[in-house]
Amino acid sequence: MGVGRSKSGRKLVIQIPCHDEEASLGATLAELPREVEGFDVVELLVIDDGSTDATAEVARRAGVDHIVRHARQEGLARAFSHGLDMALRAGADVIVNTDGDNQYAGASLPALVAPIVEGTADIVVGDRAPKGLAHFHPTKRLLSGVGSWAVGIAAGATIPDAASGFRAMSRAAALRLVVQNEFTYTHETLIQASRRRMAIAHVPVEVRETKRKSRLASSMLGYVTRSAATIFRAYTMYRPLRVFTTVGLVLGLVGCAIGVRFLWFFFHDGGNGHVQSLLLCVLLVAMGFVAFLMGLLGDVIAGNRRLLEELIWRVRTLEVDARGRELPAQHTAARSEDAVSNAASSSS
């Protein structure tokens, strides 16, 4: 039995990527509102990312409308992407993503979706104001600020809380988002949305301290390293010419400076003993030129990627509309095992 778009009005789907959230998922689901102003239907979607506990059973007992199960853990980024796909198939006009650890207060959800309902934003991020959170370690507060600043630079926008997983997006925005990394969706989607000229808003939300350790990374250093790599990779994908031209200019200028030094010695004492400087100059200038060529090549590839993303958007739109925006009772893929909605489970 499929669940499609409400004939009478707009549908909100709240998706929750989970991995071993048996202890906190029940409280998270109990807080989420089932009636939100601006929507006729509110549905819940849980993505069980290879949990080894009773996460799926907790969701089922709580009356979750759709449960998607991965046979093995695939990571937060893929769970988020899979959730978007299933929410769109379920007929969502607006999608809210939240965590299963009960970090974000469900009472903040109406304020989170309000800018989209009013038509002033495509994506809304819940701002936890991490610099003022007492339960955040000082190091975490500092790194959160640095990370948001870096994402803001890469996105060309002001991003107060880039790592927040409590966010809402319109159907049009969700159709265009393509998450390519396998670590987390938070940074890449903001850079991607900003570069695609989507309107991004930020609203303050209520948060609470979570007792368990983060399952995204085993250590703070690991999280910072992987996040930095994700931000740099996402920025390079959208600005390859700028990145490689900058690298090429730096290498070229350093090489030229060393070349000037060699010429100074050459005209004063014949350059005896400074041949190494000449070799290093040639090497750096050559590397700078190669970096510039890589930027040109990357710019061409970026143009092709934009065409592919446009094609993906068109295929997604046609696929969802052709199926009547319905979530199939059983969906299987090479990498996933999708469970069914509660209605299908109870009927069997």
How confident is the model over 142-170, as pLDDT tens digits?
888 888 998 998 888 889 999 899 999 99
Least confident range of 35-44, 61-70, 126-135, 186-195: 126-135
Q: Is the pLDDT at 343 greater than 60, yes or no?
A: no
Of the pLDDT bands very low, low, confident and very high (cuts 50, 70, 90), residue 215 is low
Of the pLDDT bands very low, low, confident and very high (cuts 50, 70, 90), residue 255 is very high
Say how many C-beta atoms besides its own lie within 10 A of residue 168's C-beta.
29
Q: Is the pLDDT at 136 greater than 90, yes or no?
A: no
Q: Per residue in 49-63, pLDDT tens?
A: 999 999 999 999 999
Query: Of 81, 73, 306, which Cα lies nearest the Cα of 197?
Result: 306
Query: Of 325, 341, 334, 337, which Cα lies nearest the Cα of 92?
Result: 325
Least confident range of 73-77, 98-102, 116-120, 222-226: 222-226
Q: Which residues make Cβ contacts (< 8 Å) with residue 45, sequence separation at least 6?
A: 13, 14, 15, 16, 64, 65, 66, 67, 68, 83, 86, 87, 90
Of the pLDDT bands very low, low, confident and very high (cuts 50, 70, 90), residue 217 is low
Q: Per residue in 79-130, pLDDT tens?
A: 999 999 999 988 899 999 999 888 999 999 999 999 999 999 999 999 988 8
* Across 15-42, average pLDDT: 93
Model-level pTM? 0.78
By the 8 A CB rule, do 118 and 94 touch? no
Q: Is the pLDDT at 247 greater than 70, yes or no?
A: yes
What beta strand segments (E) does the chain contain?
11-18, 41-49, 66-70, 94-97, 123-127, 167-170, 200-204, 332-333, 336-337
Q: What is the dihedral of CA 19, 90, 105, 180, to 10 degrees?
A: 50
Q: Per residue in 321-342, pLDDT tens?
A: 765 444 443 333 333 344 434 4
Residue 140 pLDDT: 81
Residue 329 pLDDT: 38
Alpha-carbon torsion (142, 148, 149, 151), positive or negative = positive
By the 8 A CB rule, do 93 and 10 touch? yes
Q: Is the pLDDT at 244 greater than 50, yes or no?
A: yes
CATH number of 11-238: 3.90.550.10
Q: What SS3 state is found at 243?
A: helix
Say how many C-beta atoms besides its own lie within 10 A of residue 261's C-beta.
15
Position with higher pLDDT, 346 vs 155: 155
